[in-house]
Amino acid sequence: MSDPDDRHGGVAVDHTRQLSRLRRIEGQVRGLQQMIETGRYCVDVSHQTDAVIAALRRVQSDMLRDHMQALVQAVLTGDLPEQERRRLADEMGRLVAKVV
């Protein structure tokens, strides 16, 4: 597999801070399982499910923000071949279209 920085135009992106957030989400999911096992009220389970989904969306949003910042930095400051600049610009366009 290629170096992860290659996919960011040579700009390092550190997503490790998301790990603690994902561990909390993992605990929330275990809590959901326990709620269902103990027969908790459906609306309570639904509210907790919404919280898990919101937490996952935050991880996704933060990772995409960091990724986009790295791509923009690479395009603006990197000594990249034109083909690589186009590839990064196309990737940015696809990401924007996905989240809009």
**What secondary structure does DSSP assign to 48-76, as a single string?**
HHHHHHHHHHHHHHHHHHHHHHHHHHHHH
* pLDDT at residue 76 is higher than 60: yes
Q: What is the pLDDT of residue 1?
A: 42
What CA–CA distance (Å, rounded) separates 47 from 14? 31
* pLDDT at residue 8 is higher than 80: no
Q: Tens digits of per-residue pLDDT, 10-41?
A: 778 888 989 999 999 999 999 999 999 999 99
Q: State if pTM tops 0.85.
A: no
Q: What is the pLDDT of residue 91?
A: 84
Q: What is the pLDDT of residue 88?
A: 82
* pLDDT at residue 6 is higher than 70: no
What CA–CA distance (Å, rounded) separates 18 from 68? 16
Q: Which two tokens stand for residue 84?
A: 């690589």
Q: What is the pLDDT of residue 48?
A: 97
- Polymer length of the chain: 100
* pLDDT at residue 5 is higher than 60: no
* pLDDT at residue 100 is higher than 70: no
